Amino acid sequence: MAPRGYDAACLWVHSLAVPGLAERVHAEFQRDLDTRSGRVSMLYVAARILAISDPVYVDNLHAPAKRWCEPIAASLRA
């Protein structure tokens, strides 16, 4: 069983290539994503994406995933 917010985090990270869609996913699943476990899940999924060297991921998801890692990590430190 995954922690609360993990499924929503997967959907959100994979939608980052389309900013409007990512915003909608975050809005729909905000209750789960804004929990501590949701934010940890977002970082975990983003890190997994960044570890993939497939050009589809590199070209479409690496840059937005990197942009979000620090703000999410900062929210966990707060």
What confidence tens digit (pLDDT) does each residue in 2-29 have? 999 999 999 999 999 999 999 999 999 9
Does pTM top 0.85 for this prediction?
Answer: yes
In this predicted structure, what is the pLDDT of residue 30?
98
Whether 20 maps to a domain, the answer reads yes
In this predicted structure, what is the pLDDT of residue 48?
96
Domains in the chain: how many in total? 1
Question: What is the average pLDDT across 30-43?
Answer: 98
Domain span including residue 70? 6-77
Q: Return the biggest CA–CA distance within the chain.
A: 35
Dist. CA 45–CA 6, nearest whole Å? 8
Dist. CA 8–CA 54, nearest whole Å? 23
Whether 1 maps to a domain, the answer reads no
In this predicted structure, what is the pLDDT of residue 77?
94
